[in-house]
Chains A and B, each alone.
Chain A
Amino acid sequence: DGGITQSPKYLFRKEGQNVTLSCEQNLNHDAMYWYRQDPGQGLRLIYYSQIVNDFQKGDIAEGYSVSREKKESFPLTVTSAQKNPTAFYLCASKEGYSTDTQYFGPGTRLTVL
């Protein structure tokens, strides 16, 4: 089945630790995205990538980093510089045009202890 997978589903982190969230897609999409969701805030764009080895900052990139070494993979690292990392993180992908649908993964819930 084609789709987007995110792992793990739940993640716990101690303050001061970096943690990496996985996102993989087998839809052969060029563009991939990371969003952060907080209650009552909607989704906010963290980073996006249009092609391999290239990515751009979204609206709330501070404290996060990404890489895009393979077309199907777009991991997100939440660094210790992110002051309030507890949130639901969603990965998405689409073919590359503005009219195309973004398809979302099931999400990772990160909790900082």
Chain B
Amino acid sequence: AQSVTQLGSHVSVSEGALVLLRCNYSSSVPPYLFWYVQYPNQGLQLLLKYTSAATLVKGINGFEAEFKKSETSFHLTKPSAHMSDAAEYFCAVSGGRGGADGLTFGKGTHLIIQP
């Protein structure tokens, strides 16, 4: 069974500051990990994914995440926050139920950007 824990339902940072959104996972099989972003009343858009290649993964909009097996973590970072980054962010894990399995999501982190 898999699970995802996102620490902090709301994170507030100043424009230009570092963004750090935390994600810890639990998986009984080698995990594939994803970060998605959601703007109000819209679907989810993929930011980046880890599929057992490089542990540091670069995504869109300047975001990146590092897979740390020893810490079972996949934290999302961005060096300098922009007002347009304000959104809901979801970490998700895949790896069960065979090849076309669904994702298990964390509860999400709402990122607030202060001007």
* Smallest CB separation, A64 vs chain B (Å): 14
Interface contact B43-A109, CB-CB below 8 Å: no
How would you classify the secondary structure of chain A's contact residues: helix, strand, loop or mixed? strand
Cβ-defined contact, B103 with A45, below 8 A? yes
* Contact code string A73-109 (vs B, CB < 8 Å = 1, else 0): 0000000000000001010101011110111111101
A99 and B36 CA atoms in complex are apart in Å by 15
Which of A31, A56, A106 contacts B43, CB < 8 Å?
Answer: A106
Among B14-22, B61-69, B78-86, B104-112, the stretch that binds chain A is B104-112
A101 CB to closest chain B CB (Å) equals 5
Which residue from B42, B49, B108 sits with its C-beta under 8 Å from A107? B42
Minimal Cβ-Cβ distance residue in B for A88: B41
Residue in A30, A102, A109 with the greatest tally of chain B CB atoms within 10 Å: A102
Q: Are A31 and B100 in contact (CB under 8 A)?
A: yes
Which B-chain residue is minimally distant from A31 (CB atoms)?
B100
| Residue pair B102, A33 in contact (C-beta under 8 Å) | yes
Inter-chain pairs besides A92-B44, A98-B101, A104-B44, 14 sampled, C-beta below 8 Å? A43-B90, A45-B102, A45-B103, A48-B97, A48-B101, A56-B97, A88-B41, A98-B32, A98-B95, A99-B94, A101-B49, A102-B46, A105-B43, A107-B41
Q: Residues 31-60 of chain A: 1 if any B CB is under 8 Å from the residue's CB, otherwise 0?
A: 101010000111111001010000010100
Q: How far is the CB of A21 from chain B (nearest CB, A)?
A: 13
Cβ-defined contact, A99 with B100, below 8 A: no
Q: A34's closest neighbor in chain B, by CB?
A: B102
* CB-CB nearest in chain B for A104: B43
Kindly provide the distance from the CB of B28 to the nearest chain A CB, expressed in whole angstroms.
14
The residues of A that contact B41 with a CB separation of less than 8 Å are 88, 107, 109
A-B contact pairs, 5 of them (CB 8 A): A33-B102, A42-B106, A96-B100, A102-B46, A106-B43
